A and B are shown apart, each in its own frame.
Chain A
Amino acid sequence: MADYPIHIAQAEHNEEAAQKLAFEPPYHDWGITAAFYSAIHYFESWLFYEGERHTETSIPPDEEGKLKYTAHGWREKIIVNKLTRVGFKAFRKLRDSSETARYLSLSRLGTKSIEWLDRPASQYFKPQHAQKMVEKDLQTLKKELKIDLSKLLHSLKLQNKTPNALLIIQQILSRFHSKESFLNASLNNLKRFMSEETLSLLRNQLEQSKESVKWK
Protein backbone atom coordinates (compact mmCIF):
# COMPACT_ATOMS: atom_id res chain seq x y z
CA MET A 1 0.00 0.00 0.00
CA ALA A 2 1.25 3.45 -0.91
CA ASP A 3 2.11 5.98 1.78
CA TYR A 4 0.94 9.58 2.08
CA PRO A 5 3.46 11.27 -0.29
CA ILE A 6 2.85 8.72 -3.05
CA HIS A 7 -0.92 9.21 -2.85
CA ILE A 8 -0.50 12.99 -2.95
CA ALA A 9 1.89 12.84 -5.90
CA GLN A 10 -0.45 10.55 -7.84
CA ALA A 11 -3.48 12.67 -6.93
CA GLU A 12 -1.78 15.82 -8.20
CA HIS A 13 -0.60 14.09 -11.35
CA ASN A 14 -4.15 12.88 -12.06
CA GLU A 15 -5.56 16.30 -11.27
CA GLU A 16 -3.22 17.92 -13.80
CA ALA A 17 -4.33 15.39 -16.40
CA ALA A 18 -7.96 16.10 -15.49
CA GLN A 19 -7.41 19.85 -15.89
CA LYS A 20 -5.95 19.35 -19.35
CA LEU A 21 -8.45 16.82 -20.61
CA ALA A 22 -11.56 18.59 -19.32
CA PHE A 23 -10.63 21.61 -21.43
CA GLU A 24 -9.74 19.63 -24.52
CA PRO A 25 -12.95 18.33 -26.10
CA PRO A 26 -13.73 15.75 -27.35
CA TYR A 27 -11.51 14.18 -24.65
CA HIS A 28 -13.26 16.00 -21.80
CA ASP A 29 -14.99 12.75 -20.69
CA TRP A 30 -11.56 11.40 -19.76
CA GLY A 31 -11.11 14.53 -17.65
CA ILE A 32 -13.94 13.21 -15.45
CA THR A 33 -12.25 9.84 -15.04
CA ALA A 34 -8.89 11.46 -14.28
CA ALA A 35 -10.63 13.70 -11.72
CA PHE A 36 -12.16 10.66 -10.03
CA TYR A 37 -8.80 8.90 -9.81
CA SER A 38 -7.35 12.08 -8.41
CA ALA A 39 -10.15 12.12 -5.82
CA ILE A 40 -9.40 8.49 -4.87
CA HIS A 41 -5.74 9.29 -4.16
CA TYR A 42 -6.56 12.49 -2.26
CA PHE A 43 -8.97 10.44 -0.17
CA GLU A 44 -6.37 7.73 0.47
CA SER A 45 -3.82 10.37 1.50
CA TRP A 46 -6.37 11.71 4.00
CA LEU A 47 -7.18 8.23 5.24
CA PHE A 48 -3.49 7.63 5.87
CA TYR A 49 -3.69 9.92 8.91
CA GLU A 50 -7.02 8.46 10.03
CA GLY A 51 -7.35 5.25 12.00
CA GLU A 52 -7.98 3.17 8.87
CA ARG A 53 -4.74 4.12 7.06
CA HIS A 54 -5.79 2.41 3.78
CA THR A 55 -9.22 1.54 2.39
CA GLU A 56 -8.33 -1.94 1.20
CA THR A 57 -6.57 -3.09 4.36
CA SER A 58 -9.29 -1.78 6.67
CA ILE A 59 -12.27 -3.59 5.13
CA PRO A 60 -13.76 -5.63 7.99
CA PRO A 61 -14.16 -9.39 7.52
CA ASP A 62 -17.45 -11.24 7.93
CA GLU A 63 -18.01 -14.26 10.19
CA GLU A 64 -16.40 -16.54 7.60
CA GLY A 65 -13.32 -14.36 7.32
CA LYS A 66 -14.22 -13.00 3.88
CA LEU A 67 -14.21 -9.27 3.19
CA LYS A 68 -17.55 -7.80 4.13
CA TYR A 69 -17.58 -5.00 1.56
CA THR A 70 -16.12 -4.10 -1.80
CA ALA A 71 -13.40 -1.44 -1.71
CA HIS A 72 -15.79 1.10 -3.29
CA GLY A 73 -18.53 0.18 -0.81
CA TRP A 74 -16.24 0.45 2.21
CA ARG A 75 -14.69 3.72 1.02
CA GLU A 76 -18.12 5.27 0.58
CA LYS A 77 -19.18 4.04 3.99
CA ILE A 78 -16.20 5.84 5.52
CA ILE A 79 -16.98 8.94 3.49
CA VAL A 80 -20.62 9.11 4.55
CA ASN A 81 -19.59 8.62 8.19
CA LYS A 82 -16.69 11.05 8.30
CA LEU A 83 -17.25 13.76 5.70
CA THR A 84 -20.02 16.33 5.38
CA ARG A 85 -22.91 16.09 2.95
CA VAL A 86 -21.05 18.45 0.61
CA GLY A 87 -17.89 16.34 0.64
CA PHE A 88 -19.89 13.15 0.19
CA LYS A 89 -21.76 14.54 -2.81
CA ALA A 90 -18.57 15.81 -4.46
CA PHE A 91 -16.91 12.39 -4.19
CA ARG A 92 -19.99 10.45 -5.27
CA LYS A 93 -20.59 12.68 -8.27
CA LEU A 94 -17.05 12.08 -9.49
CA ARG A 95 -17.33 8.34 -8.97
CA ASP A 96 -20.72 7.91 -10.59
CA SER A 97 -19.88 10.13 -13.57
CA SER A 98 -16.59 8.34 -14.15
CA GLU A 99 -18.41 4.97 -14.12
CA THR A 100 -20.83 6.26 -16.75
CA ALA A 101 -18.01 7.88 -18.75
CA ARG A 102 -16.08 4.60 -18.87
CA TYR A 103 -18.80 1.98 -19.20
CA LEU A 104 -22.00 3.77 -20.35
CA SER A 105 -23.99 0.65 -19.45
CA LEU A 106 -24.22 -2.02 -16.81
CA SER A 107 -24.08 -5.30 -18.69
CA ARG A 108 -24.73 -7.32 -15.54
CA LEU A 109 -28.28 -5.98 -15.44
CA GLY A 110 -29.08 -7.34 -18.86
CA THR A 111 -29.18 -6.37 -22.50
CA LYS A 112 -32.30 -7.89 -24.04
CA SER A 113 -34.79 -5.15 -23.32
CA ILE A 114 -32.65 -2.36 -21.96
CA GLU A 115 -31.60 0.16 -24.53
CA TRP A 116 -28.52 1.70 -23.08
CA LEU A 117 -27.32 5.15 -24.02
CA ASP A 118 -27.22 5.76 -27.77
CA ARG A 119 -24.21 8.07 -27.72
CA PRO A 120 -20.62 8.05 -26.48
CA ALA A 121 -19.61 9.60 -23.18
CA SER A 122 -18.07 12.61 -24.93
CA GLN A 123 -21.57 13.52 -26.11
CA TYR A 124 -23.42 12.53 -22.95
CA PHE A 125 -21.18 14.85 -20.91
CA LYS A 126 -20.69 18.38 -22.25
CA PRO A 127 -17.22 19.91 -21.76
CA GLN A 128 -18.66 22.30 -19.16
CA HIS A 129 -19.87 19.32 -17.10
CA ALA A 130 -16.37 17.87 -17.01
CA GLN A 131 -14.84 21.25 -16.24
CA LYS A 132 -17.24 21.82 -13.36
CA MET A 133 -16.37 18.45 -11.88
CA VAL A 134 -12.66 19.25 -11.99
CA GLU A 135 -12.90 22.88 -10.89
CA LYS A 136 -15.72 22.62 -8.37
CA ASP A 137 -16.35 19.08 -7.16
CA LEU A 138 -12.74 17.94 -6.96
CA GLN A 139 -11.75 21.20 -5.24
CA THR A 140 -14.64 20.86 -2.77
CA LEU A 141 -13.43 17.39 -1.88
CA LYS A 142 -9.83 18.54 -1.48
CA LYS A 143 -10.96 21.28 0.88
CA GLU A 144 -13.00 18.84 2.90
CA LEU A 145 -10.05 16.45 3.14
CA LYS A 146 -7.81 19.35 4.31
CA ILE A 147 -5.24 18.53 1.67
CA ASP A 148 -3.47 21.90 2.04
CA LEU A 149 -3.01 21.35 5.78
CA SER A 150 -1.86 17.74 5.51
CA LYS A 151 0.62 18.71 2.78
CA LEU A 152 2.04 21.45 4.98
CA LEU A 153 2.35 19.13 7.98
CA HIS A 154 3.94 16.40 5.93
CA SER A 155 6.43 18.88 4.42
CA LEU A 156 7.70 19.75 7.94
CA LYS A 157 9.29 16.29 8.12
CA LEU A 158 8.34 15.92 11.76
CA GLN A 159 9.01 12.18 11.56
CA ASN A 160 12.73 12.97 11.43
CA LYS A 161 12.50 15.03 14.61
CA THR A 162 10.17 13.19 16.95
CA PRO A 163 8.73 9.69 17.37
CA ASN A 164 5.35 11.36 18.04
CA ALA A 165 5.11 12.87 14.55
CA LEU A 166 2.09 10.81 13.51
CA LEU A 167 0.21 11.70 16.69
CA ILE A 168 1.02 15.42 16.34
CA ILE A 169 -0.17 15.48 12.72
CA GLN A 170 -3.36 13.59 13.60
CA GLN A 171 -4.08 15.99 16.45
CA ILE A 172 -3.64 19.06 14.26
CA LEU A 173 -5.69 17.59 11.41
CA SER A 174 -8.54 16.74 13.76
CA ARG A 175 -8.64 20.27 15.21
CA PHE A 176 -8.13 22.57 12.21
CA HIS A 177 -10.09 22.68 8.98
CA SER A 178 -7.41 24.29 6.79
CA LYS A 179 -3.81 25.41 6.56
CA GLU A 180 -4.89 28.99 7.21
CA SER A 181 -6.86 28.15 10.32
CA PHE A 182 -3.84 26.30 11.72
CA LEU A 183 -1.30 29.03 10.92
CA ASN A 184 -3.62 31.71 12.32
CA ALA A 185 -4.58 29.81 15.45
CA SER A 186 -4.17 31.44 18.83
CA LEU A 187 -1.32 30.30 21.02
CA ASN A 188 -3.75 29.48 23.81
CA ASN A 189 -5.70 27.21 21.51
CA LEU A 190 -2.55 25.33 20.52
CA LYS A 191 -1.36 25.04 24.11
CA ARG A 192 -4.55 23.17 24.96
CA PHE A 193 -3.33 20.07 23.20
CA MET A 194 0.38 20.62 22.53
CA SER A 195 3.35 20.77 24.84
CA GLU A 196 5.85 23.63 24.75
CA GLU A 197 8.34 21.22 23.28
CA THR A 198 6.04 20.30 20.40
CA LEU A 199 5.16 23.94 19.77
CA SER A 200 8.81 24.84 19.66
CA LEU A 201 9.50 22.03 17.20
CA LEU A 202 6.63 23.18 14.98
CA ARG A 203 7.85 26.79 15.11
CA ASN A 204 11.33 25.79 14.01
CA GLN A 205 10.11 23.57 11.20
CA LEU A 206 7.65 26.20 9.96
CA GLU A 207 10.38 28.85 10.01
CA GLN A 208 12.56 26.63 7.87
CA SER A 209 9.65 26.23 5.47
CA LYS A 210 9.25 30.03 5.42
CA GLU A 211 5.66 29.81 6.62
CA SER A 212 4.49 32.74 8.69
CA VAL A 213 2.44 31.87 11.72
CA LYS A 214 0.43 34.09 13.98
CA TRP A 215 1.46 32.18 17.09
CA LYS A 216 5.20 32.23 16.41
Chain B
Amino acid sequence: MDVKANKIEDAAAYAIPLDLTKHMITSIGLQGQFSLVCEKYNIFTDTFYNLIKGYLQTVIPPETGYQIWSPEDIFGYIRLQRQLTRETLEEEREEEQEREHIEESALFCIADKYSKYEKVKSIYVQKYRAEIQFHVLLGITEYDDDLMEDLLDTEYDIRKEFDYLSFTFLYPPVAFVDRKDIVHPEARCIFSR
Protein backbone atom coordinates (compact mmCIF):
# COMPACT_ATOMS: atom_id res chain seq x y z
CA MET B 1 0.00 0.00 0.00
CA ASP B 2 1.15 3.50 -0.75
CA VAL B 3 1.96 5.38 2.44
CA LYS B 4 0.53 8.55 0.94
CA ALA B 5 -2.83 6.92 0.95
CA ASN B 6 -2.82 6.91 4.75
CA LYS B 7 -2.99 10.67 4.72
CA ILE B 8 -6.23 10.58 2.86
CA GLU B 9 -9.37 9.78 4.79
CA ASP B 10 -11.43 8.98 1.76
CA ALA B 11 -12.18 5.26 1.66
CA ALA B 12 -11.83 5.29 -2.07
CA ALA B 13 -8.31 6.57 -1.85
CA TYR B 14 -6.38 4.28 0.50
CA ALA B 15 -6.56 1.12 -1.53
CA ILE B 16 -4.28 1.97 -4.43
CA PRO B 17 -1.22 -0.31 -4.46
CA LEU B 18 1.69 1.20 -6.31
CA ASP B 19 2.07 -1.80 -8.53
CA LEU B 20 -1.51 -1.45 -9.62
CA THR B 21 -0.92 1.72 -11.55
CA LYS B 22 0.41 -0.02 -14.62
CA HIS B 23 -2.55 -2.34 -14.67
CA MET B 24 -4.92 0.53 -14.28
CA ILE B 25 -3.47 2.42 -17.18
CA THR B 26 -3.68 -0.61 -19.36
CA SER B 27 -7.21 -1.18 -18.26
CA ILE B 28 -8.37 2.26 -19.26
CA GLY B 29 -7.73 1.28 -22.82
CA LEU B 30 -9.30 -2.12 -22.23
CA GLN B 31 -12.40 -1.34 -20.25
CA GLY B 32 -13.77 -4.83 -20.56
CA GLN B 33 -10.86 -6.21 -18.54
CA PHE B 34 -10.89 -3.52 -15.92
CA SER B 35 -13.18 -5.46 -13.61
CA LEU B 36 -10.76 -8.38 -13.66
CA VAL B 37 -7.94 -6.13 -12.52
CA CYS B 38 -10.05 -4.69 -9.73
CA GLU B 39 -11.10 -8.13 -8.66
CA LYS B 40 -7.48 -9.21 -8.46
CA TYR B 41 -6.65 -6.31 -6.17
CA ASN B 42 -9.94 -6.48 -4.25
CA ILE B 43 -11.06 -3.00 -5.24
CA PHE B 44 -14.52 -1.66 -6.00
CA THR B 45 -14.64 -1.55 -9.79
CA ASP B 46 -17.05 1.35 -10.18
CA THR B 47 -15.25 3.55 -7.69
CA PHE B 48 -11.87 3.18 -9.34
CA TYR B 49 -13.12 3.17 -12.85
CA ASN B 50 -14.88 6.49 -12.26
CA LEU B 51 -11.92 7.99 -10.46
CA ILE B 52 -9.41 7.04 -13.10
CA LYS B 53 -11.70 7.89 -15.97
CA GLY B 54 -12.34 11.28 -14.40
CA TYR B 55 -8.63 11.72 -13.82
CA LEU B 56 -7.75 10.93 -17.41
CA GLN B 57 -10.51 13.15 -18.74
CA THR B 58 -9.77 16.15 -16.59
CA VAL B 59 -6.11 16.02 -15.60
CA ILE B 60 -4.18 14.31 -18.36
CA PRO B 61 -4.34 15.73 -21.87
CA PRO B 62 -5.55 13.05 -24.32
CA GLU B 63 -2.40 13.15 -26.43
CA THR B 64 -0.11 12.36 -23.48
CA GLY B 65 -2.23 9.54 -22.17
CA TYR B 66 -0.60 7.33 -19.59
CA GLN B 67 2.88 8.72 -20.04
CA ILE B 68 2.54 11.17 -17.17
CA TRP B 69 0.66 8.78 -14.95
CA SER B 70 1.96 8.52 -11.40
CA PRO B 71 0.54 7.62 -8.00
CA GLU B 72 0.97 11.26 -6.98
CA ASP B 73 -1.27 12.30 -9.82
CA ILE B 74 -4.10 10.03 -8.87
CA PHE B 75 -3.85 10.99 -5.20
CA GLY B 76 -3.74 14.62 -6.24
CA TYR B 77 -6.82 14.07 -8.29
CA ILE B 78 -8.62 12.43 -5.38
CA ARG B 79 -7.65 15.29 -3.10
CA LEU B 80 -8.95 17.74 -5.70
CA GLN B 81 -12.26 15.90 -5.91
CA ARG B 82 -12.56 15.89 -2.14
CA GLN B 83 -11.83 19.59 -2.01
CA LEU B 84 -14.40 20.32 -4.71
CA THR B 85 -16.98 18.24 -2.86
CA ARG B 86 -16.27 20.12 0.36
CA GLU B 87 -16.53 23.46 -1.45
CA THR B 88 -19.81 22.44 -3.09
CA LEU B 89 -21.27 21.41 0.26
CA GLU B 90 -20.09 24.66 1.80
CA GLU B 91 -21.64 26.66 -1.03
CA GLU B 92 -24.93 24.78 -0.65
CA ARG B 93 -24.92 25.46 3.08
CA GLU B 94 -24.27 29.14 2.48
CA GLU B 95 -27.04 29.29 -0.13
CA GLU B 96 -29.45 27.64 2.30
CA GLN B 97 -28.54 30.14 5.01
CA GLU B 98 -28.93 33.01 2.57
CA ARG B 99 -32.34 31.69 1.48
CA GLU B 100 -33.46 31.39 5.11
CA HIS B 101 -32.25 34.92 5.78
CA ILE B 102 -34.19 36.27 2.77
CA GLU B 103 -37.32 34.39 3.86
CA GLU B 104 -37.07 35.69 7.41
CA SER B 105 -36.68 39.27 6.17
CA ALA B 106 -39.71 38.79 3.91
CA LEU B 107 -41.80 37.39 6.76
CA PHE B 108 -41.21 40.41 8.97
CA CYS B 109 -41.83 42.78 6.10
CA ILE B 110 -45.11 41.00 5.34
CA ALA B 111 -46.15 41.02 9.00
CA ASP B 112 -45.48 44.74 9.06
CA LYS B 113 -47.67 45.34 6.00
CA TYR B 114 -50.64 43.48 7.49
CA SER B 115 -50.25 44.92 10.97
CA LYS B 116 -51.64 48.26 9.77
CA TYR B 117 -55.10 46.63 9.55
CA GLU B 118 -56.70 46.72 12.97
CA LYS B 119 -58.90 43.75 12.14
CA VAL B 120 -55.84 41.56 11.63
CA LYS B 121 -55.43 39.82 14.99
CA SER B 122 -52.55 37.51 14.25
CA ILE B 123 -50.55 35.98 11.46
CA TYR B 124 -49.36 32.38 11.40
CA VAL B 125 -46.93 31.02 8.89
CA GLN B 126 -45.81 27.56 7.94
CA LYS B 127 -43.78 26.05 5.14
CA TYR B 128 -45.12 23.34 2.89
CA ARG B 129 -43.01 22.14 -0.04
CA ALA B 130 -41.65 25.33 -1.62
CA GLU B 131 -44.61 27.40 -0.39
CA ILE B 132 -44.80 29.78 2.52
CA GLN B 133 -48.38 29.55 3.75
CA PHE B 134 -49.85 32.50 5.61
CA HIS B 135 -52.93 32.40 7.80
CA VAL B 136 -54.01 35.95 8.49
CA LEU B 137 -56.60 35.70 11.26
CA LEU B 138 -59.28 38.39 11.21
CA GLY B 139 -61.20 39.59 14.24
CA ILE B 140 -64.57 39.97 12.51
CA THR B 141 -67.94 38.30 12.94
CA GLU B 142 -69.38 39.31 9.58
CA TYR B 143 -67.76 39.30 6.14
CA ASP B 144 -66.30 42.71 5.28
CA ASP B 145 -65.87 43.19 1.54
CA ASP B 146 -63.97 46.47 1.84
CA LEU B 147 -61.49 44.89 4.22
CA MET B 148 -61.05 41.94 1.86
CA GLU B 149 -60.39 44.32 -1.05
CA ASP B 150 -57.64 46.03 0.97
CA LEU B 151 -56.12 42.77 2.17
CA LEU B 152 -56.02 41.40 -1.37
CA ASP B 153 -54.38 44.61 -2.61
CA THR B 154 -51.70 44.13 0.04
CA GLU B 155 -51.36 40.46 -0.88
CA TYR B 156 -50.93 41.34 -4.57
CA ASP B 157 -48.21 43.88 -3.71
CA ILE B 158 -46.43 41.33 -1.52
CA ARG B 159 -46.53 38.67 -4.23
CA LYS B 160 -45.08 41.14 -6.74
CA GLU B 161 -42.43 42.48 -4.37
CA PHE B 162 -41.25 39.02 -3.28
CA ASP B 163 -41.82 37.27 -6.58
CA TYR B 164 -38.83 34.98 -5.96
CA LEU B 165 -40.77 33.37 -3.10
CA SER B 166 -44.01 31.39 -3.31
CA PHE B 167 -46.93 32.14 -1.04
CA THR B 168 -50.45 31.13 -0.24
CA PHE B 169 -52.73 33.28 1.93
CA LEU B 170 -55.94 32.56 3.82
CA TYR B 171 -57.97 35.04 5.88
CA PRO B 172 -60.14 33.08 8.34
CA PRO B 173 -62.34 34.97 10.82
CA VAL B 174 -61.81 34.35 14.54
CA ALA B 175 -63.52 35.49 17.72
CA PHE B 176 -60.40 35.17 19.87
CA VAL B 177 -56.88 33.87 19.42
CA ASP B 178 -54.07 33.01 21.80
CA ARG B 179 -50.72 32.86 20.05
CA LYS B 180 -49.50 30.01 22.27
CA ASP B 181 -51.99 27.60 20.78
CA ILE B 182 -50.04 26.10 17.95
CA VAL B 183 -50.73 22.47 17.25
CA HIS B 184 -48.82 22.20 14.00
CA PRO B 185 -45.13 21.95 14.88
CA GLU B 186 -44.05 23.99 11.87
CA ALA B 187 -46.64 26.76 12.17
CA ARG B 188 -45.46 29.82 14.00
CA CYS B 189 -46.90 33.17 14.89
CA ILE B 190 -45.15 36.15 13.31
CA PHE B 191 -47.64 38.78 14.43
CA SER B 192 -50.22 39.09 17.20
CA ARG B 193 -52.07 41.93 18.88
Interface residues, chain A, with chain B CB atoms under 8 Å away: 62, 66-70, 72-73, 76-77, 80-81, 85, 88-89, 92-93, 96-97, 99-100, 103-106, 108-119, 123-126, 129, 132
A62 CB contacts on chain B under 8 angstroms: 129-130
Of A70, A77, A97, A112, the contact of B181 (CB 8 Å cutoff): A112
Q: A113 and B141: CB pair below 8 A?
A: no
A67 CB contacts on chain B under 8 angstroms: 129
Closest chain B CB from A78 CB (angstroms) = 11
B40 CB contacts on chain A under 8 angstroms: none
B180 CB contacts on chain A under 8 angstroms: 113
Q: B172 and A105: CB pair below 8 A?
A: yes
Cα–Cα distance between A118 and B173 once the two chains are bound (Å): 10
A110 CB contacts on chain B under 8 angstroms: 181-184
Which of B141, B152, B163 is most buried by chain A, counting CB atoms within 10 A of its CB?
B152
Q: B166 and A115: CB pair below 8 A?
A: no
Q: Contacts A72-B168, A77-B166 given: A126-B178 contact, CB under 8 Å?
A: no
Chain A: CB-nearest residue to B189: A109
* Residue-wise interface mask of B (150-179) relative to A, using a CB-CB cutoff of 8 A (1 in contact, 0 not): 001101100110010011111111111110
Q: B131 and A80: CB pair below 8 A?
A: no
B166 CB contacts on chain A under 8 angstroms: 68-69, 73, 77
Q: Contacts A66-B129, A117-B173 given: A129-B145 contact, CB under 8 Å?
A: yes
Cα–Cα distance between A106 and B134 once the two chains are bound (Å): 12
Q: Contacts A62-B129, A109-B135 given: A96-B170 contact, CB under 8 Å?
A: yes
Cα–Cα distance between A50 and B43 once the two chains are bound (Å): 54
Of A99, A109, A116, A119, the contact of B182 (CB 8 Å cutoff): A109
Cα–Cα distance between A116 and B176 once the two chains are bound (Å): 7
Chain A: CB-nearest residue to B176: A115
Q: B129 and A68: CB pair below 8 A?
A: yes
Cα–Cα distance between A118 and B130 once the two chains are bound (Å): 34
Closest chain A CB from B154 CB (angstroms) = 11
Q: A117 and B141: CB pair below 8 A?
A: yes
Q: B135 and A73: CB pair below 8 A?
A: no
Chain A: CB-nearest residue to B152: A89
Of A88, A89, A93, A109, the contact of B187 (CB 8 Å cutoff): A109
Q: A88 and B152: CB pair below 8 A?
A: yes
Chain B: CB-nearest residue to A105: B172
A108 CB contacts on chain B under 8 angstroms: 183-184, 187
Q: Is B124 located at the chain interface by the 8 A CB criterion?
A: yes
Other contacts beyond A92-B155, A114-B176: 15, CB < 8 A: A69-B130, A72-B168, A77-B166, A85-B153, A89-B152, A104-B172, A104-B173, A106-B170, A108-B183, A115-B174, A116-B172, A118-B175, A119-B141, A124-B173, A126-B142
Q: Is B148 located at the chain interface by the 8 A CB criterion?
A: yes
B182 CB contacts on chain A under 8 angstroms: 109-110
Of A80, A100, A123, A129, the contact of B160 (CB 8 Å cutoff): A80
Which of B129, B160, B176, B184 is most buried by chain A, counting CB atoms within 10 A of its CB?
B129
Cα–Cα distance between A66 and B129 once the two chains are bound (Å): 9
B141 CB contacts on chain A under 8 angstroms: 117-119, 124
Cα–Cα distance between A73 and B132 once the two chains are bound (Å): 9
B135 CB contacts on chain A under 8 angstroms: 106, 109
Chain A: CB-nearest residue to B178: A113
Which 6 pairs, one residue from A and one from B, show the smallest C-beta to C-beta distance? A113-B178, A113-B181, A115-B175, A115-B176, A110-B181, A110-B183
Closest chain A CB from B114 CB (angstroms) = 14
B131 CB contacts on chain A under 8 angstroms: 69-70, 73
Closest chain B CB from A86 CB (angstroms) = 10
Closest chain A CB from B17 CB (angstroms) = 39
Cα–Cα distance between A118 and B168 once the two chains are bound (Å): 25
Q: Is B149 located at the chain interface by the 8 A CB criterion?
A: yes
Cα–Cα distance between A123 and B173 once the two chains are bound (Å): 13
